[in-house]
Chain A
């Protein structure tokens, strides 16, 4: 039954991709049906899990024995683990996923080939579900690569645009760096701990020497950085906005990019065992959350600005995950609330683009509330949620992370507080430039509200963004829910909770007011003479330059060297060997004369040699 959650979208993707154009008519509906079915099964499993006592909630189902090399003691099952953590993801992925499927129905209606788009979406959902349901690292890796593939295909969905094709490639390559870390981690697990299943690794890590947990922790962090666009592997996420907006909402905001957070929380036992690895996680999270916020504040492209915001918010989650048992629960809580409010804002951005001939430049927006009221209201709810105004969802999750960070260290606490202010600044900037300010539309643009298939998912997600935080934090439901999987320790911040809330809200208010003051008038063209910070932020804080210096140039140099080595030494050897073999082949071929007498001769002589040789050996 659990397997059906994955099988439905996988099957649908297989049908749509293999039968091709024949499925054009019903393709999108089949995809939506598969995703909805997945959600319903997931929800049913969730209800069943609730009905079981706490210690019996986690179940592992072995579908079949996947790989076994008895000689090496290697055995991996295709087994799915459904526990409190994975069901949380299943519900998020299938619920938001289904809504975005429906949204795509309207958004992609003018596209040449929506069927292929829906097939890839289904493929993504299936892979993502496999990622969170796997009961071992190797199967998780399959899902990990699967979402990478789906992400690549969807970023490059409009491959006729060179920028989309390049962005897809960039995302793929940057992800390879992270994937390399994950594959090394899996190999290390097998060699040192003898198994790759979560339960065995959790057990094995307890008795292992310190370097094991440190190595594994750093390798897993590298993997998480790649998939979740964290420093130093963040640069692909901004370019990934070349993909259709529903993709940005689902994959590059709500679900796939959070896989790194999942990986770290799932590997809690490894990180708990190594303080250095945990600190590394916190540092990466801190840098990313500040970098992302700065980039978001300088971009005029609405999707790129939101992408910077995604990077920043995931930085919050990574940071929380690095705090250990006081943070895991809040990392996941923020991940879920973020899934709602960021998805609604991306869908809102898509709706705005839909209305303005696919223009993404916020400097040519403005004055939209009158023409698209649903989009404005839902986006505004998302805005209130992300900057953390009570009672919207982001307030609860972010406040907890700030508490946890403050009880960890002063610098982490200061960083998240500063981040909250930056968040308020750049989000207010987006809202002001897009909606509130005076219209600065291009001449041929006539904005209009989007169809129901697009506004409905936005409304549903906005309701979620309003209520999910308050629901999940009532009586500490979520802490108790996840505690059996991740463990939980109550954070003990240096100030009282009320004080922290007041400080946070004041910082947020400063950010909001600063943005309103700064953008009281918006120019149609971005100003040129700006401070070096803005210049740097417009260039993604030189993320690409850094990539080139750290990864590309040394990589190219190595390749150049290896190429020379390969041509002169390896090729010389191989080609020589190849020529030799071919030469021998041509000669041996002549033994095939076609004369039956020579064949018979060969048999008789061969027999004689065999008999004589055996006799000599024997006697």
Chain B
């Protein structure tokens, strides 16, 4: 009898080679923990840097090597789908993570050290904090946390099973909650942000899990392909399925920061250390949209007409509310947070397109937006005052006269966010709008165009402020970063320009790989 039960559980079959990007990042994270445990304090930073960049590089090469036609398969007993979009998302996440990691590693711009608190456990503003800061301690746990989060993302965008997806979501999110609370400056704000993020994230996870349970109740399966089959064959109450879709969607839309589940975004983006914010705005956004694409187009693909009205409403609300509130922001980081929300809305517009075109358009938007946003946040870390980063917009007056290069690059990213032609942002917006029109969502596109007009106001206001006002006395100064930040900013600049001038490169790449496996 006992023997029987054991036999009835199938032995999971792992295709280690195909799963290697995920595994590499997982081992890197474990190695990070061991380094924390066994290496002396002064050797940790360098070792961590070696481990993280080597593993990110290796994982990226693993993605490139395996993403060919032979690398498209359902693996790990059908719980992980390695398909075109999956590989592209994994590759993008690894690149964005590498750029964020470069920002994590920067320790030149702040005279006190890197962007993280010397000891997270010390009381903000207390004596102990001053002592450890003076001693030059560093909270090197950020590195394994980052690796764990990347591991979770890589799994999340390829998960083909609601339960695996949920686990991946938690592996990706839990380190983020911690990272958000580790800022060196304005620590109370940072800790408050972390706690908010955690509580609301837990709430959203619970909703997602509830939705997954309802899905299982209706279809009898957690695997996307079988959910899709189950929907057409099962004859349970349709209300059950509708609620399931809505709840799963909410769980995802929370991570994306779609209205009305967006309110954590400004607080968390502002409070978190800027390198972490760049990671959240870049990589997390890519991962969350990747997951949403897969759920909606694979698991619920046959119910397009049920979930599309939902996406329409949420997309319209997100674009308009995000852009409108951004108008009255006085803090640059907060403005970018709202910009991130409204961009999420634009990406959702792509979901109203037909299958293949929509997937390609969304992927292109994700790639271009992620690179530009990391660049913008990287620039924030350089514009400083005595007390840390200077994010109060009004104080940026005349920055273009003091540092034309920094202000010029910032303007480039602003123009890209605004979707001005010849920047990557135009390529992206053009793509989702075209896809949506082809999918019959012209009214939504009209709302989108109006929202971009509103959004252009606050992006261009930054440029006007920097270039067409006189500098204020004792205003912020621009520091010269070390090679880490320089690489990150250069990379995002190059990508933003190249994808604006030669969009065909990414369009070809993505269009050839925009079919999900099921």
Contacts and interface: CB of A to CB of B under 8 A. Distances in A.
A613 B266 CA distance: 27
B66 to A, nearest CB: 29
Contacts, number: 90
B106 interface: no
Given A603-B200, A603-B250, A618-B239, A588 B504 contact: no
Given A64-B502, A599-B263, A610 B434 contact: no
A607 B211 CA distance: 11
B455 to A, nearest CB: 11
Contacts of B247: 607, 611
B180 to A, nearest CB: 13
Given A581-B454, A603-B204, A610 B325 contact: no
B196, B260, B313 interface centre (most CB from chain A within 10 Å) = B260
A65 interface: yes
A435 B310 CA distance: 86
B231 to A, nearest CB: 13
B435 to A, nearest CB: 11
B238 A618 contact: yes
Interface string A516-542: 000000000000000000000000000
A348 B64 CA distance: 64
Contacts of A617: 306, 309
B212 to A, nearest CB: 15
Given A65-B504, A599-B196, A619-B238, A584 B324 contact: yes
A109 interface: no
A185 to B, nearest CB: 22
A581 B247 CA distance: 32
B324 A619 contact: no
B243 interface: yes
Given A591-B263, A610-B249, A585 B328 contact: yes
A68 B504 contact: yes
Contacts of B491: none
Contacts of A614: 242-243, 245-246, 306, 309-310
A581 B321 CA distance: 10
A617 B245 CA distance: 13
B195 A586 contact: no
Contacts of A112: none
A64 B508 CA distance: 14
B254 interface: yes
A600 B324 contact: no
A602 B324 contact: no
Contacts of B324: 581, 584-585, 588
B27 interface: no
A600 B200 contact: yes
B295 interface: no
Interface string A389-412: 000000000000000000000000
Interface in B177-235: 195-196, 199-200, 203-204, 207
A610 B309 contact: no
Nearest to A603: B261
Interface in A570-606: 578, 581-582, 584-586, 588-589, 591-592, 594, 596, 598-600, 602-606
A600 B245 contact: no
B434 A71 contact: yes
A254 B208 CA distance: 73
Nearest to B245: A614
B260 A602 contact: yes
23 contacts: A64-B502, A71-B434, A585-B324, A588-B325, A589-B325, A592-B325, A596-B196, A599-B196, A599-B200, A599-B264, A600-B200, A603-B203, A603-B204, A603-B261, A604-B203, A605-B260, A606-B261, A610-B250, A610-B310, A611-B246, A614-B243, A615-B242, A617-B306
Given A68-B504, A584-B324, 6 more contacts: A594-B267, A603-B203, A610-B310, A613-B310, A615-B239, A615-B243
9 closest residue pairs by CB, A with B: A606-B260, A585-B328, A585-B327, A599-B263, A611-B246, A596-B196, A607-B250, A585-B324, A610-B246
